[in-house]
Amino acid sequence: MSELVETVPSVPPPSLAEPRPRVAAALADDAQLIEACRRGEARAMEVLYHQYKRRVFGMAHRIVGASDAEEVAQEVFVRIFRALERFRGDSALSTWIYRLTVNASLSHLAKRGRRHEVGDDSLGELPAPPALERDHGLAARIEAGLAQLPPGYRAILVLHDVEGLSHEECAQILECRVGTCKSQLHKARARMREILGPDIHGERGGKDRA
Amino acid sequence: MSCEDVRPRLTGYLDGELDADRGSVVRGHLRECAACRQVATDEAALRDGLRQLPHVDPPPSLWAGVQARLAEAEVADARRPAWRRALTRWLPSAPRFAAGTLVAATAVGVLWWRSQRGPDGDVATQPEPTAIATAPTTPRMSQTHVVVASDRGEPDVTADLAGEAGRVTASYGDAAEELLALAGEVRGQWTEEQRTAFDARVAELRGTIASAADGHPRQRAWRDLIRYLQNAVVRDEIAFAGGGQ
């Protein structure tokens, strides 16, 4: 029994969970930025771009893959600046931008008829140094696992677990109910566990379990 | 509580979303069930791994690409006939406008039909009211706009915008030159075979840029070159990170 008690704390209790980074910017700042962009101020547009470039590109990168991420991110920013005039502020600016990014990414995948990233064609053109074949650790395995997920699961995992958004924000972005969002996250994590298998704990963990 | 009851709640438990009672029940089950404990440990490792994924930095060419596409869109806007611009502005409210038009046309039709009825309730022998019922659903204002705008002889702003697109596209060249310089610094670490393949591919991509049509095709060709150079440079960084093996 004492052994059981000792092993349970290895599952992080909720109280020890690290605080999630919040991504929503202050509403007042957003409103000023939006107004300046609507007036066509180049500086404001650049500020908005730099404020969201990592989130937009990161989301696109993880949903459509490396080779198409730039094209999708460009499309998203063009849509943002062209549609900002019609942004009514019903949701936070960040939520709206995330929604545009997810929709553009999923539409891009649908157009291409691809379920997952199959690799950057241009990579095959340059002889690969041996270092690329090394195991880059858990992050690389997770990235590879993400690429094998259905796009919808990829989207919810990136929004909730990578970007740290709440279920309520994810539901707004994906335009679904909070309950649906939670169940999708549960299924997505379960699928990821299946894909990663013992690799989820790294080489040492895998060997221990084997 | 069985494993089947606990498993769906593990995600909420690990994320701290269960209330104290439910959390306690799940925790109690985990103390006794090794299989569920393993699932919880795996999911916690996965969740932590996802949270710790590094940021993916966008390439330097992204902003130039956005500006180029915005400029392209503005050029296209400026070249589009005035009636199409008006239609584009009108389209977002089209459903409401169409509904309003339908109601108004119906009301006019009913009034006209009633006005044509004789004292005994028969419809008088008059032309069919179809002309009114099928009133145009597009705003008449936009048609008027066409004539006015096309006859006004406004200054051609598209020339400036086209020039802007060209200037923005030129920034691709700057980004490519920077990346080429970086590649030049690290190419000493490559094999002769890699250097030959790199030079051949860069020459090929430059040829594609030269032969591509102005506008989007040429920008795509620039992006292909930039992406290739980024891969080459980043790959070399990875090689150095691994001790240059």
Indicate whether A22 pLDDT > 80: no
| B245 contacts A14? CB cut-off 8 A | no
In terms of CA atoms, which chain A residue is nearest residue B51? A162
Indicate whether B244 pLDDT > 50: no
Residue type for A86, please?
Answer: R
Mean pLDDT over all residues of chain A?
A: 77
* Nearest chain A CA: its distance from B225 CA (Å): 10
CB pairs under 8 A between A and B: 165
Cα distances from B39 to residues A96, B10, B229, in angstroms, run: 35, 9, 43
**Residue owning tokens 């960084």:** B237
- State the DSSP code for A121: G
Task: Fold for A136-204, please state it.
Answer: Arc Repressor Mutant, subunit A (1.10.10)
Mean pLDDT of A44-68: 93
B66 vs B226 pLDDT, higher one: B66
State the pLDDT at residue A173: 93
| B 33-52 near A (Cβ less than 8 A) | 37, 39-52
Mutation target vs A (from B4, B30, B62; most A CBs, 10 A cutoff) = B62
| B 118-157 near A (Cβ less than 8 A) | none
State the pLDDT at residue B145: 36
Mean pLDDT of A80-100: 90
| A164 contacts B59? CB cut-off 8 A | no
Give the residue extent of every domain in chain A: 25-114, 136-204
| B 218-237 near A (Cβ less than 8 A) | 223-224, 227-228, 231-232, 235-236
In terms of CA atoms, which chain A residue is nearest residue B220? A71
Query: What residues of A are in contact with residue B69 (Cβ under 8 Å)?
Result: 74-75, 78
* Nearest chain B CA: its distance from A146 CA (Å): 10
State the pLDDT at residue A146: 92
| A122 contacts B227? CB cut-off 8 A | yes
Cα distances from B35 to residues A46, A189, B40, B42, B234, in angstroms, run: 51, 17, 9, 11, 42
Give the residue extent of every domain in chain B: 3-51, 83-152, 158-241
Lowest mean pLDDT among A139-148, B14-23, B137-146: B137-146
Confidence label for A45 from pLDDT (cuts 50, 70 and 90):
very high
Confidence label for A30 from pLDDT (cuts 50, 70 and 90):
confident
State the pLDDT at residue B87: 58
CB-nearest to B50 from A75, A81, A157 is A157
What does the DSSP assignment read for chain B?
Answer: --HHHHHHHHHHHHTT-S-HHHHHHHHHHHHH-HHHHHHHHHHHHHHHHHHTPPP-PPPTHHHHHHHHHHHHHHHHHHHS-HHHHHHHHHGGGHHHHHHHHHHHHHHHHHHHHHHTB-TTSPBPS---THHHHT--SS-HHHHHHHHHHHHH----THHHHHHHHHHHHHHHHHHHHHHHHHHHHHGGGS-HHHHHHHHHHHHHHHHHHHHSPTTHHHHHHHHHHHHHHHHHHHHHHHHHHTT--
Q: Is the ipTM of this complex over 0.95?
A: no
State the pLDDT at residue B164: 54
CATH architecture entry for A25-114: Orthogonal Bundle (1.10)
